[in-house]
A and B are shown apart, each in its own frame.
Chain A
Amino acid sequence: MSYILPNEMVEWDLYIVLYPFLTGVVAGAFIVSSLYQLFGFQKFRRLSSLALIISIAFMITAPLPLVAHLLQPSRAPEIFFTPNPTSPMSIFGYLWLSYLILMLVEGLFMHRTYIVRKAQETSGWTRAFYHLMALSRDTSEEAAKRDLKVVKLLALIGLPMAAVFHGYVGFIFGSLKANAWWSTPQMSEIFLLSAIVSGVALVFLSYVVIAGATKTEIDRDLLSYGGKVLGWFLLLDATVELVEVLYRAYFQAEDWGAVAQVFFGQLLVPYVGIQYLLGAAVPLAILVFRKARRSFVGMAVACALALMGTFFMRYNTIIGGQLISRTGEGFLTFSFPIFGQGSLFVMLSTFGLPLFIVTFLTSVVPWEAKDTEVL
């Protein structure tokens, strides 16, 4: 007999699924950008600008699903004015704002030489726009060196912020001891690793799509290298998640029966089928082959599948966790509308917005760092 408490519902719906997916891409793409800036991954230089642009675009969009989910969206600014220091959620406002400012400033320094040239070459509103963005008119070598130092410093500050920005999302879930599936100290690492997977996957998927659309020559070595990085992070992410599940199964904690019933029952297809098989095993199998990593189609498919796997990891964690009653002896059901509040349509539209911002930003500054104009 099913034992569910009468107030139990799936309150955190598709919006809340989308939110960590967006912040995950932010953190993951920023890490890709920083791999070159901080750790000398020279092969990533060409994509450091695109990675930062993707980070900024997804960062701007990240609060939208959160605000849309609130029952009182007009009170969202309260998080700035009356933050509760004991709540991990309360740091969101300040963290989001400071991290966004940091990334915007880093972007301005990264493209400063280009922006100054555009301000000199263009006229009218475009000129005014570039003038506004140019932090100084100095285009000397010394100024470029100084810019590079600033970019490196901002990347250095931004890297732990990226980890905190996404790791704390995992912490929010992991710290809720009322929920059998969420309450594990591993939640932060699981979220962070899958964030890196989604960031790397989206940067390389965007690379092949933009390069294909703009008929830019694709750097096959870069593709292959990106495929390797994605493969290793996929493997690490899937391993950590599987070890967590295996540990729970072996430990046979009080709630394991209920957890197993949901994840190998109601969520068998999205969990085992999509998250692990289609979203991890298949892209890993593709990325093992050098030929596939160097091909446009091979990388596009592997990246798209890894992104889908990451999205379903969020879906399974957030929705799946709520399907288990607090009693551990009953299960809830979840279905989402196609249109309207909390619907699939609104979620896909919200996901489309950062892609639109990426398109806009890549028309303002170069997405590819091929010459010395982009640091």
Chain B
Amino acid sequence: MRDAAALAVGVAAMTLLPSVPVKASQLQEKRYAMLIDLTRCIGCQACVASCKAENNVPYGVFRTWVERHEKGTFPNVSLEFVPRLCNHCDNPPCVQVCPVGATYRREDGLVLIYDDRCIGCGACIKACPYGARYFNPIKKVADKCTFCQQRVDKGLEPACVTTCVGRARVFGDIADPGSEISKRISGKPVQVIKPQLGTEPMVFYIGLDTTKVK
């Protein structure tokens, strides 16, 4: 039953991909997304460490983290590692609630923050259903994963992707059918976290147990 539900969610998520609302004028635009293949994640936390180093993430808060979920009952048990990060939603609640427009969504799908405009009210933190945002105790503004915008804008991949030893994380342009992420997604059921909220996450998973991960 669970597998059927997961498959249904996966198929639903896959059908979302081609239905991304691309305007005629934006057909050539990029649309960044991330695919995390849980069957390849070994829970080494290298992505967490590289993210901290690349983005100077303060102690106690995280732009990405890896959850460990136990599945099954003894003796048939297994561990599932689930890397989490900002979902760079197509319909981001954090952008909707920001009172001063400090949080915005770029045309290529990256959800970013104007550090010099953020007033630090915390509305975006409260609105994010994924707990991806936090108050940066050094910058004194709201903060989160940017898909390593500083690297992506130079044509590089996010730090967590380049460090991933099992190539579990794949980053790229899903509007480009020739990109690795498009090829890895095509034909496979993929899932997103909390699809019922209508946020349309752009971080997809392969092998995600949506009943365990919340």
Question: DSSP majority for the B interface?
Answer: loop
| Contacting residues, chain B, for A179 (C-beta < 8 A) | 126
Complex-state Cα separation, A8 to B130, whole angstroms: 10
> A92 with B99: in contact, given A6-B65, A7-B62, A326-B130 (CB under 8 Å)?
yes
Q: Which residue of A12, A73, A90 contacts B122 across the interface (Cβ within 8 Å)?
A: A12
B81 within 8 A of A: no
| Contacting residues, chain A, for B140 (C-beta < 8 A) | 71-72
| Contacting residues, chain B, for A176 (C-beta < 8 A) | 93, 97, 126-127
Complex-state Cα separation, A182 to B148, whole angstroms: 33
Contact A3 B214 (CB under 8 A): yes
Q: Which of A75-83, A213-221, A282-290 contacts B (4 or more CB under 8 A)?
A: A75-83
Complex-state Cα separation, A83 to B101, whole angstroms: 7
Complex-state Cα separation, A87 to B124, whole angstroms: 10
Residues in chain A within 8 A of chain B (CB atoms): 3, 5-9, 11-12, 66, 69-73, 75-76, 78-79, 82-84, 86-90, 92, 172, 175-179, 322, 326-329
Contact B100 A78 (CB under 8 A): yes
Name which residue of chain B comes closest to A329, CB basis.
Answer: B214
B115 → chain A closest CB, angstroms? 10
| Contacting residues, chain B, for A11 (C-beta < 8 A) | 122, 125-126, 135
Residues in chain B within 8 A of chain A (CB atoms): 61-62, 65, 84, 93, 95-102, 117-123, 125-135, 140-141, 197, 214
Contact A177 B119 (CB under 8 A): no
Complex-state Cα separation, A328 to B196, whole angstroms: 15
| Contacting residues, chain B, for A84 (C-beta < 8 A) | 98-101
| Contacting residues, chain A, for B126 (C-beta < 8 A) | 11-12, 176, 178-179, 322
A71 → chain B closest CB, angstroms? 3
Which 4 pairs of residues, A with B, have the shortest CB-CB distance? A71-B120, A5-B131, A89-B99, A178-B129
> A71 with B97: in contact, given A178-B126, A327-B214 (CB under 8 Å)?
no
| Contacting residues, chain B, for A7 (C-beta < 8 A) | 61-62, 125, 131-134
| Contacting residues, chain B, for A82 (C-beta < 8 A) | 100-101, 117
| Contacting residues, chain A, for B95 (C-beta < 8 A) | 86
Extra contacts, 7 of them, besides A7-B61, A79-B119, A90-B100 (Cβ < 8 A), are: A86-B97, A87-B96, A89-B99, A89-B123, A90-B99, A176-B127, A178-B197
Contact B131 A326 (CB under 8 A): yes
A8 → chain B closest CB, angstroms? 5
| Contacting residues, chain A, for B133 (C-beta < 8 A) | 7
Contact A177 B130 (CB under 8 A): no
Contact B99 A326 (CB under 8 A): no
Contact A71 B135 (CB under 8 A): yes
| Contacting residues, chain B, for A75 (C-beta < 8 A) | 100, 117-120
A279 → chain B closest CB, angstroms? 25
Contact A69 B121 (CB under 8 A): yes
| Contacting residues, chain B, for A83 (C-beta < 8 A) | 99-101
Contact B134 A70 (CB under 8 A): no
Name which residue of chain B comes closest to A75, CB basis.
Answer: B119
> A72 with B120: in contact, given A11-B126, A178-B128 (CB under 8 Å)?
yes
| Contacting residues, chain A, for B97 (C-beta < 8 A) | 86-89, 175-176
Complex-state Cα separation, A288 to B199, whole angstroms: 49
Complex-state Cα separation, A69 to B119, whole angstroms: 10
Complex-state Cα separation, A78 to B100, whole angstroms: 6
